[in-house]
Amino acid sequence: MDLHGYFRSSASYRVRIALNLKGLDYQYQPVNLLKNEQLGEAYRALNPQGLVPALVDNGNILTQSLAIIEWLEETHPQPALLPANALERARVRALAYNVACDIQPIQNLRILKYLQSELGVSDEQKLGWIRHWINSGFTALETQLEISADSPFAGGQTPGLFECCLIPQIYNAERFGVDIGQYPAIKQISEACAVLPAFIDARPENQSDSTL
C-alpha cells in the first residue's frame, strides 16, 4: 500500500495511526501542500479533489480519511478499531465525526488560506478562529467521554477510530496554543496514546517530509 499524504495533515495523520494500529505495512509518499503539489496533474489523477490523503492498494485508489479507515476495518478486521456492540460502534463513530467533520475541516490549510487571502483576516484573528472551534468542539467532547483507569479509551481498553481522529486534533490544539489540561478526559486519552508505538510512529515529526 502507498499512502499519499502530508506530515502535518490531520486527515493523513489519522490514517497513519489506523494503519499502524492494524500492523499494516505501507509506503509513505509525501505530498507537499505548501508547494501545492496536491493540485498538480499527477496527484489529481489519484484524487480529483486535490486533498490528502489518498491510499493506493493493488491499483485501487481510496480517498477521504474516514472512508479509508472504515475500509481498513472491513478488510483487516483485527485488531478492531470499533467495538463489537452496534450501539457502542455508533457512539464511537459519533465522537470521531465530532472531530473529523465538525472541528478539523474548518481549520484546515485551504480554509485558513481563504480567510486571509480573500477575507483579509489577520494572523491574530486567524488564531482566534482556530482556538474558538477547537475549544468549542473539545468542550462538547469532554461531556461525552466516559473513560476510566481500566478503560482509558473511548471504545474501552484499546484505542480505535476515535483516537485516530482525536490525537491529530490534539496535536493541532497544542500547536496553536490550546491548553488541553482544561479537558481532563481528553488529556487522559492523549497520555494513554502517547506511549504506544502506533501513535509515536505516526507523529508528524517522525515523517520523512517533516524536515522538507
Res 148: pLDDT: 78
Would you identify the CATH topology of the domain 2-79?
Glutaredoxin (3.40.30)
> Domain locations in the chain?
2-79, 86-199
Could you tell me which CATH number the domain at 86-199 has? 1.20.1050.10
pLDDT 10s digits, 100-147: 999 999 988 889 999 999 999 999 999 999 999 999 999 999 999 987
Res 183: pLDDT: 96
Give me the percent of the chain exceeding a pLDDT of 90: 92
66: Cβ–Cβ under 8 A, 6 or more apart, which residues? Answer: 96, 97, 100, 165
Residue 109: all three cell numbers together: 490549510
pTM: 0.95
d(CA 69, CA 19): 8
Res 161: pLDDT: 97
Give me the percent of the chain exceeding a pLDDT of 70: 100
Confidence of residue 212 (pLDDT cuts 50, 70, 90): low
pLDDT 10s digits, 49-66: 999 999 999 999 999 999
Write down the residue that cell numbers 507523529 correspond to: 203
What letters, b where the CB count within 10 A reaches 16 and e where it falls short, cover 112-125?
beebeeeeebeeee
pLDDT 10s digits, 26-43: 999 999 999 999 999 999
Asked whether the domain spanning 86-199 has the same topology as the one spanning 2-79, the reply is no
Res 211: pLDDT: 83
Q: What DSSP designation does 205 have?
A: G
| Beta-bridge partners for 28 | 3
Using DSSP bridges, classify how beta strands 54-57 and 27-30 pair: parallel, antiparallel or unpaired: unpaired
